[in-house]
Amino acid sequence: MSEQDVLAAVDRIVDDFAHHRRDAYFSGFADDATFVLHTHPVRLESRAEYEEAWDAWERDGFRVLGCRSTTRRVQFAGEDVAIFTHDVETELADDDGSTTVRERETIVMQRRDGAWTCVHEHLSPREES
């Protein structure tokens, strides 16, 4: 169990998201991962459901232009579960233009078959202080 291993797995997810590498991004999530996104009206019950939502957003011109992760922390809950929290600032574009959003995110990672994979993501808006 290594914090560096968890961070490496999370960094791949964040980097793939930041560069809008859709397939690589989704490969960081377990098939049975769940997602609570403040931008979506209901919990997404699987990676496939999230991919469907992403595809619909892309039809509206959705594009990730960049992403920055700060105030990062890893906590372990046993040997095979890690909770990663951070603040995230993302530049997004759609058919109406581009915007920067500031959010807080929790990513629950689980070690499966020797590799760390995301099993839950929770994204909340972050107020500026």
Domain ranges of the chain: 3-125
Tokens coding 60: 């509206």
Tokens coding 121: 């993501």
At the topology level, CATH places domain 3-125 in: Nuclear Transport Factor 2; Chain: A, (3.10.450)
Using an 8 Å Cβ cutoff, are 49 and 36 in contact?
no
Q: Which three-class secondary structure state does DSSP give residue 14?
A: helix
pLDDT tens-digit profile, the chain (129 residues): 699 999 999 999 999 999 999 999 999 999 999 999 999 999 999 999 999 999 999 999 999 999 999 999 999 999 999 999 999 999 999 988 999 999 999 999 999 999 999 999 999 999 876
Q: Please give the Cα distance from 22 to 38 (Å, whole number).
A: 20
115 contact partners, CB below 8 Å, separation of at least 6: 9
Stated pTM of the model:
0.94
Residue 24: per-residue pLDDT = 98
- Provide the residue type at 36 as one letter: V
